[in-house]
Structure 1
Amino acid sequence: MVPRRSAHMTIMVTAAQKAAKRLIRDFNEVEHLQVSVKGPSDFVSQADLRSEQVILEELDRARPGYGFLMEESGKRGSENWAWRWIVDPLDGTTNFLHAIPNWAISIALEKRLPDGGSEIAAGLVFAPALDEIYWAEKGVGAYLNDRRLRVSARQDWSEALFATGIPFAKTAPRNRLAFARVLGGLMPETAGVRRFGAASLDLAWTASGRFDGYWELGTHEWDVAAGILLVREAGGYATDPAGHDRVTGDVVAGNPHLQPRLRELVAEAMGAAKA
């Protein structure tokens, strides 16, 4: 039985669906979009900005006083927030601009804890072109539309399929070297490695069992916050390469059988790259 979505999740789904309507129109007329360059191989389009504005307005209207961390406009609201929205209005912009349907809206809700720390209480990854809504709430489970998600049960390294994000122009040389070491270690021993270009979807697909594991170096909170909760609520592990639950940029996720070995491989590669 699918649990009833909380008020927070209902707000998140509504905001994402509203933004998705315009994104789908833009996707079908992508050649007319104005595009700016934020950095090497890093683009922002009118579609990103319009989507973020719609999501901001919807979430702020529903929960005034909540903080925001958004990819395009940064932090908004009080630094003393009790709840904060973390938003990537269009994850996979390069895919979007090349008419590739692997792109998504990612929204996470972060809750401040009494000790001053925080945790992700809810996460949503919506892939409008694929008609897939992945959602999770802490302690409630992870779902694809109305189907409960579980990470894969594969234990054999030779049967495992992994996903990653390939470093691009602005990636630090150390991370590029570490990536190459991990890839070199995986390719001869596994069923394959895939790169689809949207971190939020890579994590959602890991939660759904399509991928057995995923790693990427140098991510941002808005890329992975919702997806990490999806993996954990689907019974998987998602940590940094050192095994810490608080992920601050480098993420390794997967099922409980394979993630520990993948994490060790990534940690060793990062250590070697520093040497």
Structure 2
Amino acid sequence: MTQAALHPMLNVAIKAARAAGSIINRASLDLDILKINTKSPNDFVTEVDQAAENVIIETLLQAYPDHGILAEESGRAHGNKHSDYVWIIDPLDGTTNFIHGFPVYAVSIALAFRGKIEQAVVYDPCRNDLFYATKGRGAFLNDKRLRVSKRTRMSDALIGTGFPFRRGDNFKRYMKMFEEVMTQCAGLRRPGAAALDLCYVAAGYYDAFFETGLNPWDVAAGSLIITEAGGLIGNFTGEADFLNQREVVAGSPKIYGQLVQILAPYTRVIKPEDEAAAEGGEKTSAADAVAAAAAPAKKRGPVRIKKDAAASGEDAPV
């Protein structure tokens, strides 16, 4: 898909991502003067996050003033809260890496229409790598078509993950998952930017990825890029409801099936009625109208995998 053939909304998202990337690259040259605030322990926001988010929102709303916005730093404060179109934005995924000069971070922008992701851009300003997808038209890195890996055995698989880092995260639960996956795969990696991790699955660099504690803006764009590259993404039980569940697993179909089998016992899926009860009868999650419905259109039931199928690398029913 050449630049000229791109969907107009995707072109605007690319323009916004590159503008944010320019701000980030300029700021990376002067990290010693960077102003850093702490949202919570180990969770940082910089003036760069905010400047990048502002230029993204300005670019998108200039082109589509009636669209809605769901952004990491400003939530739903901008745009039309009742629009069928909602842009889901992470202006700088990997802020901790950025602060330290570790060159793994990205801009993530997705467009949901009536709760389904239709456009996606993840831009890595360090490498000038642009990952993008339009629903039904494939996923690309720059001008190269992306396909997930063809590996079929967990013992050959390289798997990405993200460590829990916020107060209240369940470290013991994660360490059990970590140990179980680590002993069954070829290697685990944790670069620290979930949006890029998902793109690396789409590109076949990883065979799969899993993480807990993620927000919709961390995974929205990457989720479409993965499915358009022939991969699967879901929550730990293999269902399509993952954006508002704070758990995600993605991968090439055969490795995905085997990883779901490992992770399913660790699921913490939140049912709508449970969330409503916890919130005193009202859902007030940041994702509001988008997150519950922003998963891919086709719902999958729980993945049930025969042990011999997982061991042999056969296709797992989904």
- Structure 1 and Structure 2 fold alike (TM over 0.5): yes
Q: Is the 8 A contact 1:178 1:270 kept in 2?
A: no
- The reply to whether residue 93 of structure 1 matches residue 95 of structure 2 is yes
> Which residue of the other structure, out of 241, 253, 256, is the alignment partner of 1:256?
253
Name the residue aligned to 1:166: 163
Higher mean C-alpha displacement, 164-173 vs 184-193:
164-173
Superposed CA deviations along residues 76-113 of structure 1, whole A, max 9, x for unmatched, are 3333211010000000000000001100000000001x
- Give, in whole Å, the separation in 2 of the partners of 1:237 and 1:225: 14
Give the 3-state SS of the residue equivalent to 1:169 in structure 2: coil
Superposed CA deviations along residues 136-174 of structure 1, whole A, max 9, x for unmatched, are 11100000000000000001211100000101132422x
> Which residue of the other structure, out of 204, 222, 226, is the alignment partner of 1:227?
222
- Give, in whole Å, the separation in 2 of the partners of 1:263 and 1:68: 32
Q: Quick one: which amino acid aligns to residue 111 of structure 1? A: F
Q: Quick one: which amino acid aligns to residue 225 of structure 1? A: A
> Which residue of the other structure, out of 141, 146, 149, is the alignment partner of 1:144?
141
**Matches of residues 44-63 of structure 1 in structure 2 within 5 Å?**
44-63=45-64
- Give, in whole Å, the separation in 2 of the partners of 1:260 and 1:2: 33
**Matches of residues 1-275 of structure 1 in structure 2 within 5 Å?**
2=2, 4-75=5-76, 76-112=78-114, 118-173=115-170, 176-247=171-242, 248=244, 249-270=246-267
- Give, in whole Å, the separation in 2 of the partners of 1:78 and 1:25: 31
- Give, in whole Å, the separation in 1 of the partners of 2:143 and 2:267: 39
TM-score by length of 1: 0.93
TM-score by length of 2: 0.81
Give the 3-state SS of the residue equivalent to 1:257 in structure 2: helix
Q: Would you say how many aligned residue pairs link Structure 1 and Structure 2?
A: 264
Q: Is the 8 A contact 2:120 2:225 kept in 1?
A: yes
Give the 3-state SS of the residue equivalent to 1:135 in structure 2: strand
| Structure 1 unaligned blocks of 5 or more | 113-117
Q: Quick one: which amino acid aligns to residue 71 of structure 2? A: M
Q: Is the 8 A contact 1:178 1:266 kept in 2?
A: no
Give the 3-state SS of the residue equivalent to 1:258 in structure 2: helix
Give the 3-state SS of the residue equivalent to 1:129 in structure 2: coil
| Structure 1 residue ranges (4+ consecutive) displaced by more than 4 angstroms after TM superposition | none
| Structure 2 unaligned blocks of 5 or more | 269-318
Higher mean C-alpha displacement, 251-260 vs 163-172:
163-172
CA displacement at 1:216 relative to structure 2: 0.5
Q: CA RMSD in A?
A: 1.3
Identity of aligned residues (%): 39
